[in-house]
Structure 1
Amino acid sequence: MRAGLIIVGVLLLAAGIWVTVGNGSYKKTDTVAKLGPAEITATHDQAIPQWVGIAGIVIGGVLAIGGFVSKR
């Protein structure tokens, strides 16, 4: 249990730092026009909000510290 907390905490911490620095993004596809069976779509890169990265850093830090400090 203790090792699991440490591993998950460090992974969340690293992912949070990666997102906060500005490297996190995802693709979003929008339908621009639709005429009968024909459809025009556009794909855009969207940045992951910075608050998600900060939350990952905080939660990951708490989990990692909790794993290091736990007695069992």
Structure 2
Amino acid sequence: MRAALIVIGIILLCAGIWIMFGHGSYQTTDTVLQVGSAKVSATHDKALPQWAGIAGIVVGAVLALGGFLRKG
């Protein structure tokens, strides 16, 4: 259990830092025009919100520290 907390904490910490530096993004697809069965769509890259990176850093640090400080 202790090792799992440390590993998950470090993964979340790294993911949060990755997002904070602006490397985290996702794609959305919007339908621009649809006539009958023909459809024109556009794909946009959107950055993950900065609060998600901050939350990942905080939660990851708490889990990693909890794993390091846990006895047993």
Aligned residue for 1:67, secondary structure, equals helix
Aligned residue for 1:39, secondary structure, equals strand
- Indicate the percent of aligned positions where both proteins have the same amino acid: 61
Aligned residue for 1:28, secondary structure, equals strand
Once the two structures are TM-superposed, the CA of residue 16 in structure 1 deviates from its matched residue by 0.1
Q: Does 1:56 align with 2:56?
A: yes
Q: Which runs of 5+ in 2 are unaligned?
A: none
TM-score scaled by length of structure 1: 0.98
TM-score scaled by length of structure 2: 0.98
Q: Deviations over 1:19-56 (max 9, x none)?
A: 00111111111111111101100001000000000000
Q: Does 1:34 align with 2:34?
A: yes
What's the RMSD between the two structures over aligned residues?
Answer: 0.5
The count of residues paired between Structure 1 and Structure 2 equals: 72
